C-alpha cells in the first residue's frame, strides 16, 4: 500500500524551511557542562541547562580553565558567580484552601502564566515565544507540548479564550520557526517533539471560533504532518526512518524518535549512569531514552524488553497505538481544513482511512482483548497492556465489540480507588503502577463515553475528582501525578521529586468538574 501523492497546493507548506537551531548548553560550554552535570553540582540536572550565562560562553570557559586548578576552587561557587540560576516560580503564592477548589483553579491561571518572550537573554536555553503562555509548574518553567492541550481544556472551561488563542499561536509559531513543535521551548528539546496534539488544539479553538480556524492553521498542520512522515516514500516494507515505519503489508505507521544519540542534557547524569549498566551501544541506548522522552511516557515498562529494566529500553522498535491515533486525528483535521477543496479533502480522508485500517491490523490484540503497541522489529504485538489502549476509543477507531472488551479490561484490571492505572507493572518508573496521570484519565473517560460506557466513565470521573479534591484539601496543592492504589500515599518514581502546579491536572479537573454526572461524590 503506497502513500497517496499530495495535491500541489500542499507541497509549498510541506517544504517550508525552518530556522537554524540555536546552540544548546552542552554545545556552548563543552567540558564545563559535563563537569557540572556529572559532578552533581545541583540535585536536578535541569537546573544548569535552564541557567542564564552572565557573560559570553568563551569568557566563562576561559575563567573556568584558569581557576579550576587553583587551591580551594569550588565549582558550585563558580557557577553561582557566572550564571543566573532559575527559580521554580517567580510568583509568591500560597493556596487559600478555605476558599475552595474552584477558586484555587481560577487563581492558578495567573500563577502559571508567563508573558510573551519575543526576545530572550543571550545564550539562554529558552526559545522565544510571541504570545503569553502557561507552564505546568515546578521545575517545568517552559511551555510543554502535550501538557498544554490538557491545560487548554481548562482554559476553555474558564472562558479564557484569549489565552487559548495565544497558546495555539505559540505552537504555530514554533512549527514555522523549527519545522515542528519541540518537546518544550528550550534549545535542548530541539531534537524531538512530543505526542502531536496540535490538531486537537486547533479543533478546540475552532469549536469556539468557527471552522475558519482550520484554514488559519492549515499551513502549520501540514508542516507538522510532514515532520512526522519525512522519508516515508523511500521506505520498503519492514524499514523505518526517523519517525515513520513501513510495515510488512506496505502500511505506514509512526514511532517516536529523537534526532540525537547523546545523553539528554536535562538528565545527563541519569542517562550516563544507565549506559554504564548496559551492554548495548551507548548511542543506541541514548536514542531509545530520548525517544521515550518524546513520547511523554518517560519512563515506563511499556518501552522495555522482557528484562524490565531501564537499560533494556527499546522505544524506537515500538509503534505506539496512541501516537498513531493522534496522527489519524491530524489527517482528519487537515481533511476538514480543505472543506472548500473537495479533491484535496478526499486525499486526506483516504490517508486517515489507511491509518485507521493499519491501527486495527497491527494494534488490536485479539488474544489480550486490548489495543496494544506493536513491535515492528519483532513483527508482533507488545506484551504490556497500558492505558494507551484507550486512545482508539477516544478517536472512534475501535469497533463496538472492541470497545466493550477494553471497558471490561479497564474495570477488572486498571480501575483502582483513585482512578485508572497507567500500567499494571510496579517497576519504580513514574509511568507505571501505582501512578495515574490526568491526561490519560481524560482520554479514557472520553473514549468510554464515545461508546456509551457511561457507568464506568462516571466512576472514573468520581474517583479521580475525589482524589484530587482530597489531596488539595490536605496540602493546598494539585499534583503532576497521583497514587491511585494507596491514595493516602504520594505518587513516586521518575527522575525528579513530585511536582505541584500543575497545568494538565488543573485543566482536566476543571473540565471534569464542569461535565461530571450529578451526584458524582457518591462512590
Helices within 194-319 (DSSP H only): 198-209, 212-216, 218-229, 268-276, 282-295
Q: How many Cα atoms occupy the beta-carbon half-sphere of 294 within 13 Å? A: 29
Angle formed by the axes of helices 218-229 and 198-209, to 10°? Answer: 160
369: exposed, middle or buried (C-beta count within 10 Å: 0-12, 13-18, 19+)? middle
Grid cell, residue 42, equals 545541583
Angle formed by the axes of helices 161-178 and 218-229, to 10°? Answer: 50
Grid cell, residue 496, equals 525528579
Question: If you count them, how many residues does the chain have?
Answer: 523
Quick one: DSSP state of residue 2? Answer: P
Q: Nearest-5° angle of CA 86, CA 90, CA 94?
A: 130
3-state secondary structure of 487: coil
Rounded to an integer, what distance in angstroms lies between the CA atom of residue 433 and that of residue 454? 25
Closest Cα partner for 312 from 421, 424, 427? Answer: 427
Contacts for 207 with CB less than 8 Å, ≥ 6 apart:
156
Q: How many helices (H) and strands (E) does the chain have?
A: 21, 16
Grid cell, residue 514, equals 464542569
Grid cell, residue 307, equals 528484562
Q: How many Cα atoms occupy the beta-carbon half-sphere of 320 within 13 Å? A: 28
Left (φ > 0), alpha (ψ -120 to 50) or beta: where does 179 sit?
A: left
* 181: number of Cβ within 10 Å: 28
Going from the C-alpha of 493 to that of each of 66, 163, 299, 387, 443, the distances in angstroms are: 40, 33, 9, 18, 23
3-state secondary structure of 101: helix
Contacts for 507 with CB less than 8 Å, ≥ 6 apart:
150, 151, 152, 153, 154, 155, 157, 438
Helices within 15-144 (DSSP H only): 25-28, 32-38, 46-50, 57-67, 75-82, 101-111
Question: Cell numbers 544507565 label which residue?
Answer: 274
Catalytic residues, by residue number, are 298, 480
Grid cell, residue 241, equals 526512518
Amino acid at each position: 500500500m503506497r502513500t497517496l501523492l499530495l495535491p500541489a497546493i500542499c507541497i509549498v507548506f510541506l517544504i517550508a524551511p525552518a530556522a537554524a537551531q540555536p546552540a544548546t548548553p552542552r554545545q556552548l560550554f563543552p567540558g564545563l557542562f559535563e563537569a557540572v552535570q556529572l559532578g552533581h553540582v545541583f540535585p536536578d540536572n535541569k537546573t544548569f541547562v535552564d541557567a542564564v550565562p552572565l557573560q559570553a560562553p568563551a569568557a566563562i570557559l576561559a575563567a573556568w580553565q584558569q581557576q579550576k586548578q587553583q587551591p580551594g576552587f569550588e565549582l558550585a561557587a563558580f557557577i553561582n558567580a557566572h550564571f543566573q540560576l532559575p527559580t521554580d516560580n517567580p510568583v509568591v503564592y500560597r493556596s487559600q484552601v478555605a476558599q475552595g477548589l474552584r477558586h484555587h483553579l481560577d487563581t492558578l491561571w495567573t500563577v502559571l502564566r508567563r508573558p510573551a518572550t519575543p526576545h530572550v537573554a543571550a545564550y539562554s536555553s529558552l526559545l522565544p515565544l510571541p504570545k503569553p503562555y502557561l507552564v505546568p509548574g515546578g521545575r517545568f518553567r517552559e511551555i510543554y507540548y502535550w501538557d498544554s492541550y490538557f491545560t487548554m481544556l481548562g482554559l476553555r472551561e474558564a472562558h479564557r479564550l484569549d489565552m487559548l488563542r495565544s497558546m495555539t499561536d505559540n505552537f504555530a509559531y514554533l512549527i514555522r520557526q523549527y519545522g515542528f513543535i519541540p518537546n518544550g521551548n528550550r534549545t535542548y528539546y530541539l531534537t524531538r517533539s512530543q505526542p502531536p496534539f496540535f490538531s486537537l488544539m486547533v479543533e478546540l479553538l475552532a469549536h469556539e471560533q468557527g471552522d475558519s480556524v482550520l484554514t488559519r492553521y492549515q499551513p502549520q498542520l501540514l508542516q507538522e504532518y510532514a515532520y512526522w512522515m519525512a522519508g516515508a516514500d523511500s521506505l520498503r516494507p519492514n524499514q523505518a526512518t526517523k519517525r515513520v515505519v513501513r510495515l510488512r503489508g506496505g502500511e505506514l505507521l509512526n514511532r517516536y524518535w529523537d534526532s540525537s544519540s547523546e545523553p539528554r542534557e536535562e538528565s545527563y547524569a541519569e542517562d550516563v549512569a544507565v549506559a554504564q549498566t548496559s551492554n548495548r551501544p551507548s548511542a543506541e541506548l541514548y536514542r531509545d531514552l530520548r525517544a521515550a522522552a518524546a513520547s511523554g511516557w518517560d519512563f515506563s515498562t511499556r518501552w522495555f524488553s522482557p528484562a524490565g529494566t531501564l537499560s533494556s529500553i527499546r522505544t524506537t522498535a515500538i509503534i505506539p497505538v496512541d501516537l498513531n491515533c493522534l496522527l489519524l486525528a491530524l489527517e482528519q483535521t487537515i481533511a476538514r481544513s480543505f472543506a472548500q477543496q473537495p479533491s484535496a479533502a478526499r486525499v486526506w480522508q483516504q490517508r486517515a482511512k489507511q491509518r485507521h485500517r493499519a491501527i486495527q491490523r497491527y494494534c488490536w490484540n485479539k488474544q489480550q482483548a486490548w489495543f496494544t503497541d506493536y513491535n515492528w522489529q519483532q513483527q508482533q504485538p507488545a506484551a504490556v497492556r497500558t492505558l494507551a489502549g484507550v486512545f482508539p476509543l477516544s478517536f472512534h477507531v475501535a469497533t463496538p465489540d472492541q470497545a466493550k472488551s477494553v471497558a471490561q479490561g479497564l474495570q477488572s484490571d486498571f480501575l483502582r480507588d483513585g482512578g485508572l492505572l497507567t500500567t499494571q507493572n510496579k517497576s519504580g518508573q513514574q509511568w507505571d503502577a501505582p501512578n495515574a496521570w490526568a491526561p490519560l484519565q481524560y482520554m479514557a473517560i472520553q473514549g468510554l463515553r464515545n461508546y456509551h460506557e457511561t457507568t464506568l466513565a462516571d466512576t472514573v470521573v468520581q474517583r479521580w475528582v475525589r482524589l484530587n479534591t482530597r489531596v488539595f484539601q490536605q496540602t493546598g496543592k494539585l499534583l503532576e501525578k497521583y497514587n491511585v492504589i494507596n491514595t493516602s500515599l504520594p505518587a513516586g518514581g521518575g527522575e525528579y521529586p513530585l511536582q505541584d502546579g500543575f497545568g494538565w491536572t488543573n485543566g482536566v479537573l476543571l473540565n471534569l468538574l464542569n461535565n461530571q454526572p450529578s451526584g458524582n461524590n457518591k462512590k
